[in-house]
C-alpha cells in the first residue's frame, strides 16, 4: 500500500519533469538572459550597446560604456569581454564590427578626421590595417565572412551606394560590372 503511494508520487513527479522538459522545448525560439554588468565586462552595460554580430563563441559589438564609441569582443564561453589592445583609438568612431569564428580577425568601419575606412584588426599580431586607404570613396557597413577570407562593404563610387568585395589582404575580387 505504502510503496504504491510512493510509486504514485514518483510517477507524478516524473510527469511533472516530463511536462517541464516538453514545455521547455516548446518555448523555442527563446531569449538567452544577458543581464547588465555594471562592471563593464559583460555583453550589456549601463550605456548603449549596439550592432552585435555573432560568430562561433564570439559576439562583437559597439558600446559606449567607456563614454566613447568603441568595439568590444564578448566570449560566450568565459562570459566576459576580451581586451583588444590597439584596436580602439581616441580619435576614431568605430561602427558595424564583425569577427571571424576563430576570433582572430575583426573588421569594422572607422571614421577619423572626416575620412572613412574599412579596417581589419588581427588579434594575433595586434595589427590594425586600413583596407580602403587608396579608395577615393566614402565607405561603410563592412562585413567579414566567418572563415575570415572575405570582406564586403558599401562604397559611394558613382553617386550611389555600391557593394565592393575584397579578400582579407585588401585585394578587390574580380567581379563583372554593370554595362554602361
Partner 1 sequence: MALSVAISFGLGGLSGCVGRGPQPPAALDSYYRDQQPALSGDGRLLAFVSGRDGTQSILLYNLQRQQFINLPNLNRDDAIAESPSLSYSGRYIVYLASDRGRPEIELYDRITRRTQVLSSGYRGWIRQPKISPDGRYIVFQTGRRGQWDIEILDRGPNVELDRRQ
**CB contact set of 135 (below 8 Å; sequence gap of 6+):** 155, 164
If 0-12 CB within 10 Å is exposed, 13-18 middle and 19+ buried, where does residue 129 land? Answer: middle
Chain residues 150-169 in contact with partner 1, contact rule CB under 8 A:
150-154, 158, 160-163, 165
Q: How many CB atoms lie within 10 A of CB 55?
A: 19
When binding is defined by CB under 8 A, the residue of 39, 61, 95, 115 that contacts partner 1 is 61
Chain residues 110-129 in contact with partner 1, contact rule CB under 8 A:
none
When binding is defined by CB under 8 A, the residue of 3, 4, 30, 67 that contacts partner 1 is 30
When binding is defined by CB under 8 A, the residue of 55, 81, 88, 132 that contacts partner 1 is 55
Q: Which CB sits closer to partner 1, 130 or 150?
A: 150
CA separation for the pair 165, 176 (Å, rounded): 12
Q: Does 90 sit near partner 1 (CB under 8 A)?
A: no
CB 65 within 8 A of CB 49: yes
DSSP 115: E
Q: Which CB sits closer to partner 1, 29 or 85?
A: 29
Tell me if residue 85 falls in helix, strand or coil: coil
CA separation for the pair 172, 72 (Å, rounded): 28
Q: Does 22 sit near partner 1 (CB under 8 A)?
A: no
Q: Which CB sits closer to partner 1, 42 or 110?
A: 42
Using CB under 8 A, list all residues that contact partner 1. Answer: 25, 28-32, 34, 36, 43-44, 47-56, 59, 61, 101, 141-147, 149-154, 158, 160-163, 165, 173, 175-179
Amino acid at each position: 500500500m505504502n510503496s504504491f503511494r510512493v510509486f504514485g508520487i514518483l510517477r507524478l513527479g516524473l510527469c511533472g519533469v516530463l511536462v517541464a522538459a516538453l514545455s521547455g522545448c516548446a518555448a523555442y525560439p527563446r531569449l538567452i538572459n544577458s543581464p547588465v554588468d555594471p562592471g563593464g565586462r559583460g555583453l550589456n552595460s549601463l550605456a548603449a550597446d549596439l550592432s552585435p554580430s555573432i560568430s562561433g563563441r564570439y559576439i562583437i559589438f559597439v558600446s559606449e560604456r567607456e563614454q566613447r564609441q568603441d568595439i568590444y569582443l564578448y566570449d560566450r564561453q568565459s562570459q566576459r569581454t576580451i581586451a583588444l589592445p590597439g584596436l580602439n583609438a581616441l580619435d576614431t568612431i568605430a561602427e558595424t564590427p564583425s569577427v571571424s569564428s576563430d576570433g582572430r580577425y575583426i573588421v569594422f568601419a572607422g571614421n577619423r578626421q572626416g575620412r572613412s575606412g574599412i579596417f581589419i584588426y588581427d588579434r594575433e599580431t595586434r595589427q590594425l590595417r586600413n583596407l580602403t586607404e587608396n579608395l577615393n570613396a566614402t565607405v561603410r557597413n563592412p562585413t567579414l565572412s566567418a572563415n575570415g577570407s572575405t570582406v564586403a562593404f558599401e562604397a559611394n563610387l558613382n553617386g550611389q551606394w555600391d557593394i565592393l568585395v575584397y579578400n582579407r589582404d585588401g585585394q578587390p575580387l574580380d567581379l563583372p560590372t554593370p554595362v554602361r
